[in-house]
Amino acid sequence: MNQIIGVEGGPTGPPSMRIHPRARLALGLSVLGCVPLLVLPGIAAFAVASDAERRIWASEGAYTGHDQIRTARRLARIGIGIGLATLVAFLIFTQRHGIGTVREVFFKPEFLRGSFPKVLKGFWLNVQIFFIAEALVLVWGLVLAIFRIAPGRLGAPLRWFATAYIDIVRGLPAILTIVLIGLGLPLVELPLFKDFTDFQFAILALTIVYGAYVAEVYRSGIEGVHWSQTAAARSLGLSYGQTMQHVIVPQAVRRIVPPLLNDWIGLQKDTALVNVLGTLEGFNLARNYNSNHSTLTATTVLGFCYVVVTIPLARLTDTLLKRDQRRTTGG
Amino acid sequence: MTFLEVRDVEKYFGTNHVLKGITLDVDEHQVICLIGASGSGKSTLLRCINGLEAIQAGSITIDDLEVTQEESRLNFLRRYVGIVFQSFNLFPHKTVLENVTLAPRKVLMKSREEAEAIAEPWLTRIGLWEKRNDYPDRLSGGQQQRVAIARALSMQPKLLLLDEITSALDPELVGEVLTMVQELAAEGMTMLLATHEMGFARDCASSVVFLHQGVLLEQGTPDQIFTNPTCEPTQQFLKRVIEAKRI
């Protein structure tokens, strides 16, 4: 290693020529990164080298070169390159023999074509469930959040209810709640729920589950609005409810759009869980197709459908976030 | 006639005793300046008068109505007790005009047109009627603070509390806000203000109150307080202020 960099100064060497302990570590890591054919040590070495460089220049003031740091960075980069190349070679090598089977299982063209209309029909049901549940969740989540932070003695039962609800629902796996609601409620024959279809039960169950998550998102947004806003509104004579309605919630909603959309993406994907209710939605139709044709291709197709819907939503989240940042930082 | 009566008010934040038996009277059309070091309890006293903070003992009476933490009473009292904060606290999601008209519309149940008719003269007077549709973040600090004052005045308060309203402003913006307060004082608005602007206190106050570690140490005309302070802490405080060239 000393030969590689050739600048090892003993304890008597000038300070700028002494190898910084961090640089030594970076060099070691970068060599490691080349040898066991992995990328990660290379990346770690690069990070350590950069950090060491920054620290040295920060602590010693003047620019002194520090060749060993630059060498370490270069070696780290080479380590990353070799690691990546090896990884790709390894993947190609192992996949050459198995690639035929992979296509058979996941991407068989005739099954792709054959299953698409059926899967799409089922997926359309997921989309409907999603959109309706979404709208209901927005309202239900806000109601729960308002309950959760209801003030005073009068609000105590509301707070208690909302806290218990959110704790329990968030503590349960979504699929359990869906089974309990979707399969259990029809058996109880409650007046209102007696005539629900499984489609409606699916929406109800997802609303109950995601209402709890979204309530917490709302709450964090509401609590994130600085208390001085409440002070200003209350001092003008606005009541607690008016302050919430006109001052706090509008500001909270603006800042929770990104985490809210995150939960929407979760909800979109979890519409697949309602398959346990026997609803003929995407997942079940894909599974039927698969078992008739000994393949998983229909599920791949369904996965494609999901991604096509969720990715635009993720991009929308980014766009809204950026626009919001632009607006709040002023023009 | 005594409009605001503060009697033996005690206020604790946990174990921290911040107001120690404060007694103070404010008559109609008086301008009272609260001075004192940071942490002496000026802001807390103002917040207690507005009911934003609860007091633990004593009483505060505004226009013969005692300030308690009872919800409906506070909502009623706050219709005619305005407060302006150090950090403006404008509503960032509402335009200048909406900031000023919100309370008249929602609290006084005015229509949008009526509320805007109330807001217009105030916004015109502070020279911001043209900017009525801008959001607060497009305004300078001085402009924001003047909007905040207009917002408080839109409720036509009988008592205005001003909590160090120039402390968060750049020095060159202080003047425009103080001028506005001076005009209000000349028009007979009853005001109680916490301030570090000693020059302003000397020129405008009908009475100056010195608070020291939660105790009302001294009260008198600006002349008495600034030229002839009797208590040791007042003398020390004023000496520091003069050294800092704040007078």
**Would you call A237 and B137 a contact, using CB atoms and an 8 Å cutoff?**
no
Rounded alpha-carbon distances, angstroms, from residue A161 to A167, A184, A214, A216, B80: 10, 22, 16, 14, 37
Q: Within a domain: residue B195?
A: yes
- E strand or H helix that includes residue A331: none
What average pLDDT does chain B have?
A: 91
Q: Within a domain: residue B216?
A: yes
> Which pLDDT score is estimated for A26?
66
The count of other CB atoms within 10 Å of the CB of residue A133 is 27
Q: Within a domain: residue B121?
A: no
Closest CA of chain A from B45, distance in Å: 14
User: Nearest by CB to B103, which of A238, A240, A328?
Assistant: A238
Of A13-27, A121-135, B44-58, B227-241, give the lowest mean pLDDT range: A13-27
User: Nearest by CB to A232, which of B79, B85, B155?
Assistant: B85
Determine the residue type at B220: G
- Using a pLDDT cut of 90, give the percent of chain A over it: 31
Q: Tell me what the mean pLDDT of segment B19-31 comes to.
A: 94
Q: Counting runs of H as helices and runs of E as strands, what totals does chain B give?
A: 9, 10
User: Nearest by CB to A237, which of B79, B87, B92?
Assistant: B79
Residue with tokens 């005045």: B153
Chain B contacts in chain A segment 216-245 (CB below 8 A): 228-229, 231-240, 242
Give the 3-state secondary structure of residue B161.
Answer: strand
Residue B42 sits at the chain A interface (C-beta within 8 Å)? no
Q: Within a domain: residue B236?
A: yes
Q: Tell me what the mean pLDDT of segment B136-150 comes to.
A: 92
Of A23-32, A164-173, B113-122, give the lowest mean pLDDT range: A23-32
The CATH code of the domain that includes B227 is 3.40.50.300
User: Nearest by CB to B52, which of A235, A240, A328?
Assistant: A235
- Whether A112 has a pLDDT exceeding 70, the answer reads yes
- pLDDT tens for A121-155 read 989 999 999 999 999 999 999 999 999 998 888 88
Name the token pair of B201.
């206190």
Angstrom distance (rounded) from CA B21 to CA B11: 9
> Among the residues of B50-170, which ranges form H helices?
71-77, 96-106, 112-125, 141-153
> Which pLDDT score is estimated for A197?
86
Q: Within a domain: residue B214?
A: yes
Q: Could you give the number of structural domains in chain B?
A: 1
Q: Within a domain: residue B137?
A: no
- pLDDT tens for A187-231 read 887 777 777 888 899 999 999 999 999 999 999 999 999 999 999
**Would you call B137 and A328 a contact, using CB atoms and an 8 Å cutoff?**
yes
Residue B100 sits at the chain A interface (C-beta within 8 Å)? no
Q: Tell me what the mean pLDDT of segment A289-306 comes to.
A: 88
> Which pLDDT score is estimated for A91?
72
Give the 3-state secondary structure of residue B81.
Answer: strand
Residue B109 sits at the chain A interface (C-beta within 8 Å)? no
Name the token pair of B142.
């001085």
User: Nearest by CB to B106, which of A246, A254, A328?
Assistant: A246
Q: Within a domain: residue B215?
A: yes
In which band, very low, low, confident or very high, does the pLDDT at A7 lie, cut at 50, 70 and 90? very low
Closest CA of chain B from A96, distance in Å: 59
> Which residues constitute the domain of residue B180?
2-86+159-243
Spatial CA neighbour of B57 closest among B1, B101, B17:
B17
**Would you call B83 and A237 a contact, using CB atoms and an 8 Å cutoff?**
no
Angstrom distance (rounded) from CA B190 to CA A10: 79
Chain A residue closest to B79 (CA)? A237
Residue with tokens 């040590």: A41
ipTM confidence score = 0.88
Chain A residue closest to B70 (CA)? A152
Q: Considering only CB atoms, which chain A residues are within 8 Å of B137?
A: 328, 330
> Which pLDDT score is estimated for A220?
93
Q: Within a domain: residue B231?
A: yes
Regarding predicted confidence, which is higher, B119 or A23? B119
Angle between helices A297-328 and A249-270 (to 10 degrees): 170
> Which pLDDT score is estimated for A96?
66
Of A51-55, A173-177, A275-279, B89-93, give the lowest mean pLDDT range: A51-55
- Whether B129 has a pLDDT exceeding 90, the answer reads yes
Chain A residue closest to B150 (CA)? A236
In DSSP notation, A36-82 reads TT-SHHHHHHHHHHHHHHHHHHHHH-S----HHHHHHHHHHHHHHHH
Q: Considering only CB atoms, which chain B residues are within 8 Å of A247?
A: 91, 102
Chain A contacts in chain B segment 208-237 (CB below 8 A): none
